[in-house]
Structure 1
Amino acid sequence: MDIIGTSLSRDGYLLTEVGAPATAGETGTLSFTIRDADGTPVTAFAQSHGRALHLIVVRTDGTGYRHLHPELDAASGVWSTTVTWDAAGSYRLFADATPLGADGVTLTRTIDVEGDLRPAKHRGERRHVTVDGIEVHLDGTLRTGDGGVLTATVSEHGHPVQRLEPYLGAYGHLVALREGDLAYLHVHALGETPAAGDLSGPEVAFHASAPTAGRYFLFLDFQVDGRVRTASFVVEASGAAPTATADHHEHHAVHTH
């Protein structure tokens, strides 16, 4: 199993140092550049899931998750977006992009935010969460090897939600980060690509394979009533199943750094 999200370079591409607000509560610009093997800023990218670049930001203790889409200055190659840090700590940034004519890469950097640091403590699995009154329950087993299927069920006031909307070409996007080194796995929903205006629910299924057994932070982005929400889970991954039974017709991306 390839392990990704642990290096600032890949296939000759490098994520430069990141400029960002230095203190919790401060609003400012987060910016960076992707350079090629010659040190030249990359200014042309292919779109993936409706965007030229996906930026995942999370504190190293698994809190403060954000899925951002910075804007590219095509003249300079600088990506930028406005951020305000909610809390102090070390944050890992994952820039997921496909330079035009090349394979997709996931590049990472860590930045430190000053302030009163209050690390989170995770005690066991967390598979049921409520986000803005919408409940999400995660079933299934995260395994190594051929992996397994994880199913998120969405409900509201005790009733199944059947108005999940397409978001970036799917009914849900799942990011998994291994506790400790934050090795990165980006998984997309199983099933056909929805068309604009389609609705689904209450379930969204994913095929996922963990690089190793252990604890993982999982973040599910989904859209209901025009608003994107994030459900955050903590899941323990087990070893590979005795027999390989996983369905391999899923659409997902795994890369190494």
Structure 2
Amino acid sequence: METRETALRGQYGGVAGRDQRAHHRPAVLHLVVVRRDSSGYQYVHSRLDGDGTWRVAVPLDRSATYHAFADFESGAGDLFTLGVEVTVPGAAGYRPLPEPATEADTDGCSITLDGYLVAGEGAQLTFSVHRDGRSVADLQPHLAAFGHLMTLRGGDLSHPYMRRDGEPGDGVPRPGPEITFRAIRPTGGAYRLRLDVRYGDQMRVAEFAAVEPADLDPRRAA
């Protein structure tokens, strides 16, 4: 277990603290840690001290170079992502991206992906959740949504911002079977997609990959 201390500072040198908002509420700041190959994903809960410093204990139990990045929104509504690398010495043994696919099985659930990313353009990705051949329409909230999607580009771990409509309880998103995200101007490259959903009081994790953004939709391959 290693403890890392992170301070976020605003445009004019002030500490980014209570006037900052996370992209997805109710958390105030989203901190994600992944290995350089985009595997070993961890969503980490950080703690804000009174002086505006965020502190977090991150278990880095395997040799590798890790990338930690924080997504947050300023009081003025501007979106920011800050990142830092942490190295644990030793042989890393990185994992390659899996083969491109539009379906994944996880703990008895089948999750399918419809949609594709286009470099430099907006895009919509829709995931459908099924169990035993039936649609799942009673997903449970997770991180103020019925699903949390992390999209990471291989190599530099760039991640397009994924926007979703509404929050559980406001009547906009439904608790399944479909979960829709909108990507804001993704760039080209190979991506690893990780979708977290909560169903039956259990977290289900599905991973997808694309060698090129268009490969997310086999109808685009030619």
CA distance in 2, matches of 1:97, 1:38: 17
Which segment is superposed worse, 128-137 or 57-66?
128-137
* Structure 2 spans left out of the alignment, 5+ residues: 216-222
The change in CA–CA distance for 1:113 and 1:210 in structure 2 (over 3 A counts) is farther
CA distance in 1, matches of 2:140, 2:70: 25
Pick from 145, 157, 161 the counterpart of residue 182 of structure 1. Answer: 157
What does residue 60 of structure 2 align with? 85
Pick from 29, 42, 46 the counterpart of residue 66 of structure 1. Answer: 42
- 1:89-238 residue pairs with structure 2 within 5 A? 89-101=64-76, 103-190=78-165, 192-195=166-169, 200-235=175-210, 236-238=212-214
Deviation at residue 209 of structure 1 after TM alignment: 4.8
Deviation at residue 154 of structure 1 after TM alignment: 1.3
Q: RMSD of the TM alignment (CA)?
A: 2.7
Show CA shifts across 1:18-57 (max 9, x none).
xxxxxxxxx2323211123555533323333211100121
What does residue 3 of structure 2 align with? 29
Contact residue 98 and residue 104 of structure 1 kept, 8 A: yes
Contact residue 149 and residue 196 of structure 2 kept, 8 A: yes
- Is 1:50 the counterpart of 2:50? The answer is no
Contact residue 19 and residue 74 of structure 2 kept, 8 A: yes
- 1:236-255 residue pairs with structure 2 within 5 A? 236-238=212-214
Structure scoring higher RCO (CA < 8 A, sep ≥ 6) equals 1
TM (norm. structure 1) is 0.71
SS in structure 2 of the partner of residue 238 of structure 1:
helix
Paired-residue identity, %: 34
Amino acid paired to 2:71: D
Amino acid paired to 1:56: V
Show CA shifts across 1:206-252 (max 9, x none).
2225533321111222222344443221123139xxxxxxxxxxxxx
CA distance in 2, matches of 1:213, 1:166: 31
Amino acid paired to 2:44: L
The change in CA–CA distance for 1:157 and 1:85 in structure 2 (over 3 A counts) is farther
SS in structure 1 of the partner of residue 85 of structure 2:
strand
Contact residue 133 and residue 156 of structure 1 kept, 8 A: yes
CA distance in 1, matches of 2:53, 2:181: 33
Deviation at residue 179 of structure 1 after TM alignment: 1.4
